[in-house]
Structure 1
């Protein structure tokens, strides 16, 4: 009897120890899988949650991008979490330095539409805005945004000088926005236009009159500057070149206007060829005199200010230095311009 009791106690002790080991191991594994990975690079990674995505697909992509250790653990935590927690479509900055619980809090919302942070880059054309909204999952398709942009409903004072057939290109202010997860394409367009209205107030718009051009023309010049300039200080100098050329009845001959003509999905700003330059199109400033019918991109406030307040120069030409700095050489005469081109070819 005593021997039997001793054996029973031994078995019980082993079972208790086994349970303790399993429990401890499970706790340790959960802690390992769920904690922030401080040993890995914590540089933020841009991560997009698409419309109608599942916890499984999001977890797999998080693991593939090295943001979490285990997609299985992520999916398990999602299932064990709040019953009404929903994945919130949008773009997020995540890193391995975040715990799984923090990531879940970031990309889900409980019972509401939540918000999504969207960045529109300066110099993007409208199609790039549309593609970005679809890629981040905020809209179902790029066409949703393009259809909203094409709607005739938009009535803002700063659009008064815009021709009836002109697009909203140039007026969709580039910035970082916080949108509701259930925002519509029309609401996005309205927010972008309202931001333009607040960032480019009437007193700034009125400076176009001092230049002898309407506001729409100046925004079109600003869009060309945005695509040409790399160094911010050169923007007002470039503006002076374009206005000086128009005063001399010279074509603008701006490469970005040709890029606007020939750009295609996947490569909206391609390298251009002589064949492209020879192509007849309303926006091709090599073939058509004056200012294009509407902007070629959505310019930054810096480019808009440069176009409204150009430097006073006699420059008629500029060319990139070709040294990788993004700088340009400016010239008053064609002969000087040719010399600058030769220097650029030599990489000087």
Structure 2
């Protein structure tokens, strides 16, 4: 009889403990950040410290039973919160989302700064993955970085999102929005990498829609004639990737010995120099039927003057200097 009473008492105690552990807690508008790479036990301990659950043990028990992958991110809790509800939220990745606007013409360095500013991921982590050759290779791309293939758009990301997830989201958006254009590029005999490369230079050279097919024509005409492209934004990109960009291009900068410097090296730069928008991608497939080889920008209007000969080009330059 004593043994039965002891067992009954023990079971009652265990039931009381489990009831306590799994009782809901009242949480008032609390946000908890879980950085990516945080060990599971540390996540549970943090949730206990923050008062989201009564004990980390409740979440450990649930995890032993369910063994689901928990996602990093920023989570909001409010009202009555149960350990099961907390575990469900983390396993399904139901995080608080933040709006991130990637502008047309942004390069990976701009995007890295933006993501860090928004708390999505660290700048150096994003750049490490965006410039890791294995990442574009995993998508079947013949390019050493993801530059050019991160679609400019408005995104919703949680804080502490893994950089690979950010890259994957942007690249899949690129594939979705360029389906028809990619088919056209293939029909014209352009590889995906060549097409996006040309589009990126168009994007950085002008924001005037009507000029984009003209810039495209100049690029293709110079490539056909085996002329150096001599495009200033490629030099700016060379400076940025070497940590030398100071915000203004000088004559000395044009001599930087870098494969992206199209004043020194023939052909296309090694990769695109930014992530172009749809209008620049379209222009790269529809160059104007002109024989222009040169252009110079009017600093007052930001529009370009185009010419077919070097003599005409010099006259345009001198005219703008007056």
1:113 deviation in Å? 2.1
8 Å CA contact retained: 1:321, 1:328: yes
Structure 2, unaligned runs of 5 or more = 1-25, 35-73, 79-93
Aligned length: 242
Equivalence for 1:135? 117
Structure 1, unaligned runs of 5 or more = 1-80, 90-106
8 Å CA contact retained: 2:75, 2:95: no
8 Å CA contact retained: 1:318, 1:328: yes
Equivalence for 1:171? 149
Q: Does 1:120 align with 2:102?
A: yes
1:335 deviation in Å? 1.1
Q: Does 1:198 align with 2:176?
A: yes
Distance 1:143 1:121 in 2: 20
Which of residues 308, 312, 315 in structure 2 aligns to 1:339? 315
8 Å CA contact retained: 1:88, 1:113: no
Q: CA RMSD in A?
A: 2.6
Q: Does 1:109 align with 2:76?
A: yes
Q: Deviations over 1:236-268 (max 9, x none)?
A: 110011001111111111000111111269985
Q: Does 1:148 align with 2:96?
A: no
Which of residues 163, 166, 169 in structure 2 aligns to 1:188? 166
Q: Deviations over 1:146-188 (max 9, x none)?
A: 223234144576x54x24xx21111011111012345321111
Distance 2:291 2:136 in 1: 39
Equivalence for 1:232? 209
TM-score normalised to the size of structure 1?
Answer: 0.64
Distance 1:191 1:259 in 2: 27
1:207 deviation in Å? 2.8
Distance 2:75 2:135 in 1: 34
Equivalence for 1:278? 255
Equivalence for 1:67? none
8 Å CA contact retained: 1:116, 1:178: yes
8 Å CA contact retained: 1:258, 1:285: yes
Q: Does 1:221 align with 2:198?
A: yes
Quick check: 259-268 or 331-340, which moved more? Answer: 259-268
Distance 1:130 1:123 in 2: 14
